[in-house]
Amino acid sequence: MKFFVDTAEIDAIAELNDLGMVDGVTTNPSLIKKSGRDIIEVTKEICALVDGPVSAEVTATDADTMIAEGRKLAEIAENIAVKVPLTWDGLKACKVLSGEGKMVNVTLCFSANQAILAAKAGATFISPFIGRLDDINLDGMDLIADIRNVYDNYAFETQILAASIRSANHVLESARIGADVMTAPPAVIKAMVNHPLTDKGLDAFLKDIAAAEIKIL
């Protein structure tokens, strides 16, 4: 499974990228605002830092303006994936932009029916939002499984990008089901290393080497 990091913080992306933990980046206006940077400037810097797709989101809601914004965003770098909402106008924009050879990430997906439409419109990525479904007492993983099943039935090439990831368990379950990609904040990716038995084992090891007065350097 590919790892995208969901942030616009350059230092956080660079740290994970150096470890080989970044296959791409997802951003949105809220994340850009949080970074305190100009949207074009920070997006260009991210694109230069990572080799994989960098999702940059349009701000318009009508198809024509989304298309115009998408074309402008795509000029930033070759690895831009234009992010559009899963609305009828968003699908129109997806069809045009993907037809021009641009990567498109269709976001805010909450049903398999929506995912089918996005695939038919030529989406490169479909972003089902796991955490937000969990928030309303629905199982976000059921949606990932439904989309995986439908896409496999018809060999759709659109990649399932599990989004709104809130925990390391979300990452694991998405991988089990077969999501092509997951995007998560840096803190969630780092949390995947944590296990109480690892901590316990390391503590015992440190006590043993201290008692034996073992030094390598």
Please identify every residue annotated as catalytic: 83
Query: 30-36, long-range: CB within 8 Å, 24+ apart, which pairs?
Result: 31/6, 31/7, 32/8, 34/8, 34/9, 35/8, 35/9, 35/10
Element (H, E) at 161: strand 159-162
Report residue 116 as tokens.
């089918």
Report the C-alpha gap between 92 and 140 in whole angstroms.
Answer: 26
Phi, psi of 80 (to 5 degrees): -75, 135
SS (H, E, C) 17-28: HHCCCCCEEECC
C-beta of residue 94 within 8 angstroms of C-beta of residue 104: yes
H-type alpha helices, the chain: 10-18, 29-35, 39-49, 63-74, 88-99, 112-120, 130-135, 140-154, 168-177, 186-191, 196-212
